[in-house]
Each structure stands twice: as C-alpha cells, then as structure tokens.
Amino acid sequence: MTFALNRRAALAALGAAAAGATGFGQAAQPPDAWRSSYTPHNGPLKAALDSGPLRIEGRWPATLQGTLYRVGPARRELGGVSMNHWFDGDGMLQAFRFEGGRVSHRGALLATPKLQAEEAAGRLLYSGFAQTLPHSPPLSGPDTVNPANINLLSLPASRALFALWDAGSALAVDPDSLQAKGFKVWSPDTQGAPFSAHPRVAPDGTVWSFGYMPGTGSLLLYEISPHGQLRRQQVIPAPQADMVHDFAITERHLVFLLMPLKYSGTPGTGNPLSHYRWEGQSPLVVLLVDKADFKVQRFELPATGVFHLANAWEQGGTVQVRFVAQPDILGAMQKMDVNHSHSNAKTRATQWTQITLTPATGQAQMQALGLDQVEFPRIHPARNGLRTQFTTLLARSREMNARVDGFDSVLTLHGGQQQRHRYGDGWIAEEHVYVPRTPTAPDGKGWVLGTAYHWPSERTALSVFDAAAVNAGPVANVTLPYGLPLGLHGQFVAA
C-alpha cells in the first residue's frame, strides 16, 4: 500500500467535507449567557492579550518555573456569520508564564490561512465540523480550514511548539511571541496530511503520532525524533478508524481504540458531523501495533465511544490501557452547541475504564473502574507508555448546575486514593495538567495546574495544587483581569 494513494483519497474525503476536528468541547454556556469579557470571536482580529504581572494569592511554588500553554476554539463569529459548535472556532493560544516569582498571561489568535482568508473577506467563509455554510469556497486540502484549535506539542530539544488540529497539519508557533509560523512539513509525502491532536512523547523524547482519514479504512503513523525529524511514516489498514482522537503507546506498542462511529459521507455534501452514524452492533476494535515492524494484532470488545486515553503499558505479558469511555459519544457531540444549555446527565455520562489485552492468547477484557462523569485524563509527561500510578482528571460533581455543561472539579487518582477539589458554583473547570516536581521525582510528587472560568464574574483563574493534596485546595492562584474563551488542551513547558 502506498501512502500517496491513500493520501489523495484522504485529502479528497477530508477536504471536500471540510475536515473533521474531533477535539472535546467541555462546556456549553450557563443559563442565559455564557460570554467572555474578551470576545475575539465577535469582531475583527484584535491585538494580543497581555495581562502584565498578576497578583498571586497564596504561595507560588518557587521551583515551578515555565509556561503553561493552552489552546482552544475562540473566534466563532465574523461579519454576521457564526459557528455554534464547540469544535468549530479559530484557535487561540494562551501562555501563562511563571518566572522569578511572577505570573503573567498572554493570549493571541493564531493567524492560520483560514483566519487570514476570513479576515480579508470580513466574514466566516468555510463550513465547519458541525455546520454547513452556503457558498463555502472549494478547499485545496484540509489545511485550508485548519483552525489549529485542539492541542499543543512541545519539542523541548529544539524549542519548537506546534498548535494541533485533528485533520490537518501541525501549525508551528513561536513560543515567545505566539505568532503562527506556518504548517509543519514532516516529509514531502505527508505534506498536508492529517496529524493527530494527541501525539505521544515517549520517555526518550521520540514523538509518536497518527492521522486518521475518514472513510479510507486506514491510519497514517508517524515516528519523529526528539528534534523533529521524521524517522518513519507508514499507512496501516484500520477498519472503522473514521474518528480517532487519541491513542496510547507502550514500550513496544501503539494502541488504538477504534469505536464503531462510522463515516458514510459523500465528500462535499454537508458537514462531517452529519455523516457519522453510531453502529453499536459493531465492536470496539483495538489495534495493537508493534513499534518495530508495524505489525498489527486486532482485538474486539463491546462497543463504546472514546475521546481520550490516559496511558498504556506492558505488564506481565499483558498490555494495560486506561481510558475514559463515552458510550453516547455521537449524542454528546450533537449537543455541543455553544448557544443552547441542556441537561447532560445522560449524554455526557463517561466512565473511567481499564482494558487488559493478552497478545499471546488474543484475549481482551474491559472493566469499568467505578468512576463516572470524568474526562481530560493527564499523566506524568515523561511516563507515556510506562506504568503510571498518578492520573489527574476533570470531574463533574452532583452539585453542578444541570443546565451547565462541563466539569466543576479537578480529581486525582494515586493508586487507590482519590482526591478532589470542587471549584464551586459558577465555575467551569478546564483541563488540568500534572507537572512533576523534578524530571526524576516519583510519580505523584509535583503539582496539578489548571484554569477555570467563573461565568458570573466573567473571569478566568489559574490554580496550582500540591498533587499529593488536591483535597486541600490550591496552594496558589491568579485571576486574570478578563475572561478567556473556554479552551481544550494544554502543555506545560519547563523554563
């Protein structure tokens, strides 16, 4: 199988269908109005936000120095044309910097070709993942509509930073100015091909990634050196790989969970979301790919949906996988409308789940671990593929307003111990990351760091917790003089 053939098919399918971003939108607005005091999506491109030094409440850990970068869909409206789905919106990059006892924030919309074309036209032009715009111009490829709005990849060895979408190229950005520097070309063959929003960085710095290509029955795999040189690319057959948002690595394998969410669209007609169907009689297909030769072993489990995996590792002849199951993933995506609050008690039910694969026998088992209404799992950034004891997640408490989508709590799991902090009424928590105290510190020794939006006051706050004592609440926090658009994922880059 040559990649060129698949690439053409993929680009045709993706491009004509305006591509399918599959990030996870975590929140709709509270009753009446969710709005940010800074609304870059409601007008022409504005200058970058810059908070200057922020007042720190509590004691900022002296050794926690670096930058928390976050990204998410921000601008959703231009020239009277609006996009209303959580996955649609031009990416805005946020940088929270911690240096010498000072904390500051800077934020900027990413000047992608899409954003620049729409700025020039004075209105939104292109159909999105969940919304069809009439007279949407033809696309030369997915990157024509790449909003770079889901996640970030940092390569510390070359001080490179990329803003990621699901269905197109990684966008290089300047880590200081936050300016877009153009789409990354890993190789001539993969130029413009999909690059996942969830690459995995192995402990040795190797970057593993993939691209999914709806309707093609294949996945494109990438192995990239710590300095950003492509080592290998490979297309593998992958039935029902029509929406694959995340994956996991182990020391020997790549692990893909392929849910029975099938794309049956005719390229060029409607938006991608309208072309997805849930086929619950089909299994959850697990592909275990040998890193050495890309040989694939296939397992089957009862159907469920998935956005995010936490981690996977080899253990005593088995492969252990931890992930968040989202049984009604299509229903959840169909309701992620920024203009309509809704009760999400059923559609957003998620389950912290374990899979055990036994390659020698071909057996696979899946078990719910008794923790519901969680998402955004994060682990030790240098332990991808190694056994981890510590995970941080967002959780939704019973007290959270049923008309408000999303999460109000941060939760940590450490072995069998669970701790959580609820931000309180009026708060929407965003993804929290785990930052180890030192690169070699034992798993769970460090900080949990994340943002939350307080919608009654329209302010965004950043909090830092002792990872071993999240129950005790933040050890320090800062409140911005403005509210940020709710974002998706972030990465901490140490100073």
Name the site residues for Fe ion (rule: CB under 5 A): 24
CB of 24 or CB of 313, closer to Fe ion: 24
Bridge partners (DSSP) of residue 459 are 454
Distance, in Å, from the CA atom of 45 to the CA atom of 48, rounded to the nearest integer, reads 9
Q: Who's near 355: CB < 8 A, 6+ residues apart?
A: 257, 286, 301, 320, 321, 322, 323, 364, 365, 366, 367
Give the nearer residue to Fe ion in terms of CB position, either 24 or 352. 24
Tell the smallest beta-carbon distance from residue 492 to Fe ion (Å): 16
Determine the distance from the C-alpha atom of residue 278 to the mean position of all C-alpha atoms in its chain, rounded to a whole number: 22
> Considering the complex, what minimum distance in angstroms separates the CB of residue 477 from Fe ion?
25
Query: Tell me, what DSSP letter sits at residue 126?
Result: S
DSSP string, 433-491: EEEESSTTSPTT-EEEEEEEEETTTTEEEEEEEETT-GGG--SEEEE-SSPPPP---EE
Grouping H, G, I as helix, E, B as strand and the rest as coil, residue 358 is strand
The answer to whether residues 44 and 78 touch, using CB atoms and an 8 Å cutoff, is yes
Q: Nearer to Fe ion by C-beta: 24 or 162? A: 24
Q: In this complex, which beta carbon is closest to Fe ion, that of residue 6 or of residue 26?
A: 26
Distance CA 69, CA 416 (A): 30
Per DSSP, what are the bridge partners of residue 414? Answer: 390, 417
Task: Quote the least distance from Cβ 71 to Fe ion, whole Å.
Answer: 11
Of 24 and 453, nearer to Fe ion (C-beta) is: 24
Smallest separation, CB 306 to Fe ion (Å): 11
Residue type, 342: H
Smallest separation (angstroms) from Fe ion to the CB of 153: 12
| Least distance to Fe ion, CB of residue 244, Å | 11
Name the residue nearer to Fe ion (CB basis): 68 or 78. Answer: 68
Please identify, using beta-carbon distances, which residue of 24 and 212 lies nearer to Fe ion. 24
Q: Provide the minimum distance between the beta carbon of 381 and Fe ion in the complex, in angstroms, as a whole number.
A: 15
**Beta carbons of 361 and 353 less than 8 angstroms apart:** no
d(CA 432, CA 391): 10
Give which of 225, 327, 330, 244 is closest to 289, Cα–Cα: 244
Q: For residue 126, which amino acid is it?
A: Y
Residue with nearest beta carbon to Fe ion: 24
The nearer residue to Fe ion, 72 or 128, going by C-beta atoms, is 72
* In the complex, minimum distance from the CB of residue 432 to Fe ion, in angstroms, rounded to a whole number: 14
Q: How far is the CB of 225 from Fe ion (least distance, A)?
A: 24
Whose Cβ is closer to Fe ion: residue 24's or residue 423's?
24
Other Cβ atoms closer than 10 A to 244 = 27
Closest to Fe ion by CB, 24 vs 165, is: 24
Shortest distance (Å) from residue 201 CB to Fe ion: 15
Burial 155-189 (b: 16+ CB within 10 A, else e): beeeebbbbbbbbbbbbbbebeebebeebbebeee
Token duo for residue 473: 């609440």
